[in-house]
Chains A and B, each alone.
Chain A
Amino acid sequence: GIQVEQSPPDLILQEGANSTLRCNFSDSVNNLQWFHQNPWGQLINLFYIPSGTKQNGRLSATTVATERYSLLYISSSQTTDSGVYFCAPSSVGETSGSRLTFGEGTQLTVNP
């Protein structure tokens, strides 16, 4: 199956700083999702981004499918951004595009 590698595994920021999270994947994908798991354990859908660039407020994401990576940008970070960020692609070989394979996540801590 598809291999997913996220970096860095841990990231500590001061409030107001910017950051970039990276997701490398081993196969061609037709789906890719970024999720945020907050400190209370809730998984929040951030972006559906199999290719291209999207922005939502202080967050944006870019997927370069031909080079098999995706980036999540967080600008002007806030303490509420803390949590684990997961990248979850689905490869073109999957019969169901909704079978997501999760990376191990990036644990982000934003300090006040």
Chain B
Amino acid sequence: DTAVSQTPKYLVTQMGNDKSIKCEQNLGHDTMYWYKQDSKKFLKIMFSYNNKELIINETVPNRFSPKSPDKAHLNLHINSLELGDSAVYFCASSQDLGQRYYGYTFGSGTRLTVV
């Protein structure tokens, strides 16, 4: 199926651990994103990569490091996890046409719980 897929779907871990979330899209899009949704359902962009190049880097702690090995993959690594990192993390992709875009598609989300 054509989609944005992210793994794992659920992640429960202890404070201080390091974890990664993987994302892959097979839509042929050239831009991928990470969004964070907090407990009040507020969605905020964290990072965006276009053809493996970082183009958006919001005010995110440097414990969060995205990595894009190719334009179909964007992974998120989080070091020294804190309780406040608990949230749902969404991967997304689109075809970025500069001032416009095409086909914004979200993955199903990863619910991260830090205990």
A binds B: yes
A interface with B by C-beta (< 8 Å)? 30-31, 33, 35, 37, 41-43, 45, 48, 50, 84, 86, 88, 92, 94-102, 104-105
B108, A41: Cβ atoms under 8 Å? yes
In the complex formed, the residue of B with least CB distance to A48 is B104
B23 CB to nearest chain A CB (Å): 14
One digit per residue, 1 when the CB lies within 8 angstroms of any chain A CB and 0 when it does not, for chain B 18-36 equals: 0000000000000101000
Q: Can you name 16 A-B residue pairings with CB atoms under 8 Å? A: A33-B104, A37-B41, A42-B106, A43-B109, A88-B43, A94-B99, A96-B50, A96-B56, A96-B96, A97-B100, A98-B31, A98-B101, A100-B45, A101-B45, A102-B44, A104-B41
B43 CB to nearest chain A CB (Å): 4
B41, A84: Cβ atoms under 8 Å? yes
Main secondary structure of the interface of B (DSSP, over half): strand
**A77 vs B3: C-alpha distance when bound (angstroms):** 28
**A94 vs B98: C-alpha distance when bound (angstroms):** 9
**A102 vs B104: C-alpha distance when bound (angstroms):** 13
A98, B109: Cβ atoms under 8 Å? no
Q: Is B97 an interface residue (CB 8 A)?
A: yes
Of B50, B88, B98, the contact of A41 (CB 8 Å cutoff): B88
Interface residues on chain B, size class: 20 to 34
Of A50, A96, A104, the contact of B42 (CB 8 Å cutoff): A104
**A35 vs B35: C-alpha distance when bound (angstroms):** 14
Main secondary structure of the interface of A (DSSP, over half): loop
Chain B residues whose C-beta falls within 8 Å of the C-beta of A99 in the assembled complex: 45, 48, 56
B41, A105: Cβ atoms under 8 Å? yes
Q: Would A102 and B101 be within 8 Å (CB), given that A96-B50, A96-B55, A96-B96 are in contact?
A: no
B41, A30: Cβ atoms under 8 Å? no
Of A43, A48, A88, A96, the contact of B48 (CB 8 Å cutoff): A96
| CB within 8 Å of A: which B67-100 residues | 88, 90, 92, 94, 96-100
